[in-house]
Structure 1
């Protein structure tokens, strides 16, 4: 069994080796992912991957709490990150109350907050009240409707400078690491170099301090679309469909169950 990562050991990977983060939403997959991952993210992406929604905005605290509990149960030796869903950290008071719920009712090791300079005061309020925070800058899925879609960041000098300021603000506010999403690779590299905490990329090139992918994307289980930054490590959907067809065929032909499957 791998030794569980801590905030200290995660921070010590900076400049030493890349961090491996993978999403999970249930105990079954969390247990499968645990041996190879440093951190497991219970992402609000679950509403897209498994609830058939077009974005993440409909995820609720109740959903995130349920799935975080399940992941913690399945991967007891993993560092678990709980996404704070849309609308649950619009001000300091709500953010702290909801984060306290996560810490009291689950075994999550930290919460994740989307936003840079604009959320620094909220991150600082949480970290000053014993809540560990993973930041999230760049493309923010919870802002997809207000921004008119998923737009890659870092294309202009203004965006480059803002991303660096966002990273520094998140670090100063007390976050121990951060995710950077959908950012031009050369800019993400510069952002990672501008702070002393690990910067974990998704669609942000290889020059950052780690990578995160949604497990259903990387395993080829999610068929609706595949983002450019996703590499499919297996054609999971085809494998599952083939297995289910084999099962259905055997049932129809009375080849299953056989004697060895019968009491």
Structure 2
């Protein structure tokens, strides 16, 4: 007659089996879906639309009633932003502030207001995980340096080889214009002026007639409109819409390096001596 396990034997066996079973991984936190780097420079880089991670338990956005509703990824903008930050750290001997979304845009959009950026209350912690460090960066830069530059990195395919400037038609760079004039935005020491010197096509062009408006679909979204220097945050903010050719895997490193050089030139002329004593 075979021997059967009694209650006592089972009590000894099951804990032993449980001890051999790997613990389930912790559930991902909203902060796991955003890359944040605290900086030392008066330079902030934001990349809200390059994320690749699906967000568990969040429904897809449907965009009811929204104008220009988009859910597609701005390909390679997150990766290009990482390269840009690394280049800046090397050539400026300091760290830019960086906030990069890793969540897919189809779940929430950090470049819209909270009322438009997500459709489920469960998405709010992920939205806040992006904007809390971005707001903190703007406040820290203003407190320490008195002024700063926010570059919001995006991608577009309408002009594959060009960079489209977005400043809400100069609204979000009000302090820069008041302090240093239009040369700081499109002159030879400006970020975009320097990119033209590197051979990039910039829209509007540096030599465009005074008053030339930015392309409406690329003139800047919520991030620069919320944090720009026309607001209490007082940080000059520019949305850069990089063409698809400039973000291609075989080109993005060159684009990042040239953009870092352009930011360095701008920093040397317009930001380097701004730090409050």
TM range (shorter): under 0.3
TM-score normalised over the length of structure 1:
0.27
- Structure ranking higher on relative contact order (CA contacts 8 Å, 6+ apart): 2
- Larger Cα Rg: Structure 1 or Structure 2? 2
TM-score normalised over the length of structure 2:
0.26
